[in-house]
Structure formats: C-alpha cells, structure tokens
Structure 1
C-alpha cells in the first residue's frame, strides 16, 4: 500500500512519516499531485500558521488536488483546520471540505491548549479499540466548532470538535503521531479503512 504524506508549508511531516513507518507501512512525503492522487491513503498533517500554509497549497494548486481526492484522507491538527471553510487565524479561507469555522480559544484559560486530554462521543471506526479514558495529545490555539461532521469531542474552555468526518475525509485536532499507543491505534484504524 502506498501512503502519501502531504508536503506543504507546515512542520511535523517527519514525525508523521516516522509514526507510519513504525506501524510497518511504506510512505512518501510529497507535494506531487500525481503521487497524491494515486496513493491508497493520504495524510494531511501540519504544525504551523493557517494563512501561509493555505498560500503554499494554492500556489501549487494543491488545494484543488486535496479537495478532489477520493481515497481516505486524514487531516491532523493544522490539516483539520485547513480542511474547514474558514479560520480566524490570519483571516483565512480554507478548503471548505467541512462547512465549519475555526475560531481562536477565548482567553479564559491557558492558550494554547497543550497536553493530554480525553475525547468523547467517539463511536466512529477511526476510534475502534479505544477506551473511554484514553488520552490524546493536543497543541492548538484554534478549534473547529461542533457540527454535523463532528465524530469526537473534547472540552477545553469550551466543547470543540476533536475529530471530523465527511465521506472519505477524516480529520483529528490532536496529534496521533505524539499520542503514544492510542495515537498508533487511531493511525492503524485509518490505514486499514
């Protein structure tokens, strides 16, 4: 199975590549549209800033490529946020795969939301074999609102979407590659879709 990890103007692709390889899968980090379109699975990771990341995607026409993919796609952290309609970060229009807005956490507690937290309402196949008290690792200042696409929730300052799904597009706000055995199970579940 060929797994493509989307290369764009955002960090953390190396960590995701290492996590996929630890699970025994071959993968390639690429911004080549033909490789992305022919891969059996595509992972859209990211650590960075929404506006500059979208500028890079648009500059290479990767925004249109990602939206046209028909195989399973997994967005991680910034990847989830860019798959949404709009982000307050940099007043950025996203890909619009999820008709959801991304907002900045209100300063009622420490921002960014950083560290381990539990997720709830996670009955989707992406979360097979997880236990109710399993923790995942978050680092983010912006969150996707709850919506019809929400497949898992988390609560930090307010309830937000910890994961989204629409058709073949899946996305998680937390970092699977930094979430230990729980993150590995979620990645495994995605790679077996």
Structure 2
C-alpha cells in the first residue's frame, strides 16, 4: 500500500510522518501530482494560517488536485478546515469539499481560552475512522477556529460550543484534532484510516 503525505507549507508534516513510521508505514512526502494520484491513501496535514496556505495550494495547482482525488484522503487540523467552503481566518475561500464554513472561536466566559489547546473528548462517533473506540475518548487539539456541527459531522467536541471534531464525505475524512499527537487513540484512528 502506497501512502502519501501532501507536501506544502504546513507545520506538522514530520510529526505525521513519524506517527505513520510507528505504525510500520513509510509514507512518501510529495507535491508531485503523479505520485499523489497513484497513492492508495493520502494525508493532508496542516498547521498554519488558512489564507497563506490556500494561496500556496493555488500557486502549485494542489487545490484542484485535492478536489479531484478518488482514494481515501485524511485532512488534519488546518487540512480539515481547508477542505471546507470558506474560512474566517484570512477571510478566504477554501477547497469546498465540505459545504460548510470555518468560524473563529469567540470566548463566552472568563475561563474560555483561545486557542483551544490540549486534551478533550470526542463523542457522537459515527464513522469507520472511529471503529473500536468507545465514546468520550480523549484526543489532542490546538486550534482557534472551528467547523460548526453540520450534516458532514462525524464526531463532536464541546468547547465554548459543540463543534465538529471530525468530518466525512465520500472518500474525504478529516479531523480537527491531531491523531499523530493523540497517543494510543490517535494511532487507532490512523490505523482505521489506513485500513479503509
């Protein structure tokens, strides 16, 4: 099985690569269209800012390529947000795979801290990505923007308000949290993705 990580100006590419190595998977890191199109599984990671990242994807033709992929694709954190229609971060139009927008967290109480950083639970797990997991598992988040609960929501976390911890549509899967930093649970989610 050939697994590819999309190479672009994202911050967590190497932690994703190391997490896959721990599972015995040597992923290729590439922005080459032929290599991406021929891969069995593709991971679209992301730590960064939506506006500059979309500009980079467009300049390299990766925006069209990602929208045309037919194999299972896993977006992580900013990767998930870029798969949505529009982001308030940089007021930018994104890939439009998921017909929903990305919103900025607005603290409601003194104890609401943004970014949402650290371990939190995921619930309402309704996806093959979460096979074998019990409700209320803990995973690791770092984000200041969120995707509201919508018809593509595959898992929910409640921080300031309920939001989409994961999305799924056709061959596109996405997590707001970082499975590569979520210990045993994250490894199980990555394994489930690789076994799709």
Relative to the length of structure 1, the TM-score reads 0.99
SS at match of 2:58: helix
Q: CA deviation at 1:131?
A: 1.7
Q: In the aligned structure 1, how far is the partner of 2:183 from the partner of 2:91? A: 33
> Which residue of structure 2 aligns with residue 73 of structure 1?
73
Q: Are the aligned partners of 2:85 and 2:96 in contact in 1 as well (CA < 8 Å)?
A: yes
Matched, 1:185 2:180: no
The match for 2:140 is: 137
Size of the aligned set, in residue pairs, is: 193
Please give the per-residue CA displacement for 1:93-118, whole angstroms capped at 9, x wherever unaligned.
10000001000000221000000000
Mapping for residues 100-139 of structure 1, pairs under 5 Å: 100-108=100-108, 109-139=112-142
For 2:136 and 2:69, how far apart are their aligned partners in 1? 34
Q: Return the alpha-carbon distance in structure 1 between the equivalents of residues 11 and 37 of structure 2.
A: 22
**Structure 1: unaligned runs, 5 residues or longer:** none
Question: Do the aligned residues in 1 keep the contact of 2:67 with 2:97 (CA within 8 Å)?
Answer: yes
Runs of at least 4 residues of structure 1 off by over 2 A?
A: none
Moved more, 129-138 or 169-178: 129-138
For residues 28-75 of structure 1, what are the alpha-carbon distances to aligned partners after superposition, in whole Å with 9 as ceiling and x for unaligned? 111111111110000000100001110110000000000000000000
Partners of 1:106 and 1:25 in 2: how far apart?
39
Distance 1:160 1:83 in 2: 16
TM-score (norm 2): 0.97
Indicate the SS of the match to 1:170. strand
Question: Which structure 2 residue ranges, 5 or more long, are not aligned?
Answer: none
Residue number in structure 2 paired with 1:152: 155
Residue aligned with 1:177, SS: helix
* Among 161, 165, 175, the residue aligned to 2:164: 161
Cα RMSD (Å) of the superposition? 0.7
In 1, distance between residues paired with 2:68 and 2:91? 24
User: Secondary structure at the residue paired with 1:164?
Assistant: strand
Counterpart Cα distance in 2 of 1:146 and 1:31 = 31
Secondary structure at 1:106's aligned position in 2?
A: coil
Quote the residue 1:175 is aligned against. 178
- Tell me how far apart the structure 2 counterparts of residues 5 and 43 of structure 1 sit (CA, whole Å): 5
